[in-house]
Amino acid sequence: MNENRFPGQTKFYRGKVRDVYTIDDQLLVMIASDRISAFDVILPRAIPFKGQVLNQIAAYMLNATKDICPNWLIDTPAPTASVGKKCEPYRIEMVVRGNLTGHAWRTYASGSRHLCGVYMPDGLKENDFFANPIITPSTKAEQGHDEDISKEEIIARGIVSVDEWNILEKYTLQLFDRGRQLAAKRGLILVDTKYEFGRIGSDIYLMDEIHTPDSSRYFYADGFEERQEKGERQLQLSKEFVREWLIANDFMGKEGQTVPAMSDEWITTISKRYIELYEKVIGEKFVPEPLPDDEITKRINRSLESIRLHSLS
């Protein structure tokens, strides 16, 4: 990917999944790649159409929640590309959980009843609903692993002020509630997710992607209670199945561990799962639109020119 790609470009950053271009120090171009990461490690093989799935779900969800809080998105000029406002990011991820699943369950099963300073009551089974959603933040690492952190530590370290935390907490819970409502309409349960926020001046904006399979976990609502009663595994749509496969193959991103080989068949399976989630969450047939890099660049440049003209008018 060309690192110097757009007129007015002032910065380039390659994330785990996205290539991010700063334009005029005011706009961001994000191109969602087909890279896939787990345990904060980029896996060696790309997943066909994953970038398009992520970008289009994120755009749909950002537009469906913009009445709750302002967000960064201005335009999606290509299936894998988004253009929006550059924010000064808060160095935390607002992780919110409605069910005792994933990292929360692994913590609970180890005997601990506290996660990020939040108490999890005794007597719960894996995947049970919490009485109310809980917020379990993590630090946002530039490189390496994100780390759990409590609200109290966040404020004590000066990462955000008390007033800022209160706004972030309010937005997080409202966004999660909206996400659960949208999921319920599609026969799904939004189990857990994360949100990232930033500032432009004194205003707080929702950034990045929301409610995608990379940032969220969904269960099928039909049969959920029956499976819980029987102690059966829940049917889910998320990236967790990739993590489970890695764990089963002795990889959790720890030093000295090697990523297991990913067969063509396994890559196809992952791609189909991402497409399944798109169709289930959005309620529309996924239409693959592979575009060459030069066409994506052309569309983004047209979008940037339009945004600049609009800002001057």
Question: What domains sit in the chain, N to C, each tagged with a CATH number?
Answer: 89-242 (3.30.470.20)
Contacts of 67-73 with CB under 8 Å at 24 or more apart are 68/171, 68/174, 68/175, 68/178, 69/171, 69/174, 69/175, 69/204, 69/205, 69/206, 70/203, 70/204, 70/205, 70/206, 71/205, 71/206, 71/207, 72/28, 72/198, 72/205, 72/206, 72/207, 72/208
In angstroms, rounded to a whole number, what is the distance separating the alpha carbons of residues 146 and 40? 8
pLDDT of residue 214: 83
In angstroms, rounded to a whole number, what is the distance separating the alpha carbons of residues 83 and 76? 6
What beta strand segments (E) does 159-280 contain? Answer: 188-200, 203-207, 216-220, 236-238
pLDDT of residue 2: 61
pLDDT of residue 228: 97
- Neighbour-count burial of 149, counting CB atoms closer than 10 A to its CB (0-12 exposed, 13-18 middle, 19+ buried): buried
- How far, CA to CA in Å, does 20 sit from each of 17, 69, 193, 195? 10, 23, 22, 18
Instruction: Give exposure, 210-236, as e/b (b: 16+ Cβ within 10 Å).
Output: bbbbbbbbbbbeeebeebbeeeeebeb
**What stretches in the chain show pLDDT beneath 50?**
313
pLDDT of residue 313: 44
- Neighbour-count burial of 304, counting CB atoms closer than 10 A to its CB (0-12 exposed, 13-18 middle, 19+ buried): buried
What pTM value is reported for the model?
Answer: 0.91
Backbone φ, ψ for residue 100 (5° rounding) = -85, 85
pLDDT of residue 145: 60
pLDDT of residue 49: 96
pLDDT of residue 309: 81
pLDDT of residue 144: 54
In angstroms, rounded to a whole number, what is the distance separating the alpha carbons of residues 191 and 102? 10
